[in-house]
């Protein structure tokens, strides 16, 4: 009797959870609707383009938005309309 063997490289799974950290992207928006990212003003004609670009990244970064006290909610909601999810807001404690 002749036996034949074939060497195979079998995939191995690990039960150790992979920790993925999402990048945090911080935006500020003032009462006029001017967005800034990384302390630089976003071209006023294209804030939705910048927001959409962040929304299409995989994994999607965690967006944090700091709004001016007088900002209208529609200005902040533009991030959600661009496709960003799990939007966090940055607030200052009352002094």
pLDDT at 79: 82
Average pLDDT, the chain: 77
Asked if 60 contacts 84 with a C-beta cutoff of 8 angstroms, the reply is: yes
Work out the pLDDT band at 4, boundaries 50, 70, 90. Answer: low
pLDDT per residue over 45-65, tens digit each?
666 787 788 888 888 888 888
Closest C-alpha to 61, from 18, 19, 26, 17: 26
Structural domains of the chain, ranges and CATH numbers in brackets: 24-89 (3.30.420)
Count of positions (residues) in the chain: 95
pLDDT at 29 over 80: yes
Q: How far apart are CA 37 and CA 53, in angstroms?
A: 13
Region of poorest pLDDT, from 42-46, 49-53, 66-70:
42-46
Q: Which residues pair with 27 in a beta bridge?
A: 37, 65
Q: How far apart are CA 23 and CA 59, in angstroms?
A: 8
Q: What is this structure's pTM?
A: 0.61
């Amino acid at each position: 009797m002749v036996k034949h063997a074939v060497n195979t490289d079998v995939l191995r799974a690990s039960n150790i959870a992979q920790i993925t950290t999402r990048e945090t992207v911080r935006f500020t928006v003032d009462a006029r609707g001017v967005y800034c990212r990384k302390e630089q003003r976003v071209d006023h004609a294209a804030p939705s383009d910048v927001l959409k670009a962040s929304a299409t990244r995989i994994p999607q970064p965690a967006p944090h938005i700091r709004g001016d006290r007088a900002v209208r909610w529609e200005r902040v909601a533009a991030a959600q309309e661009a496709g960003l999810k799990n939007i966090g807001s940055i607030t200052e404690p009352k002094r």
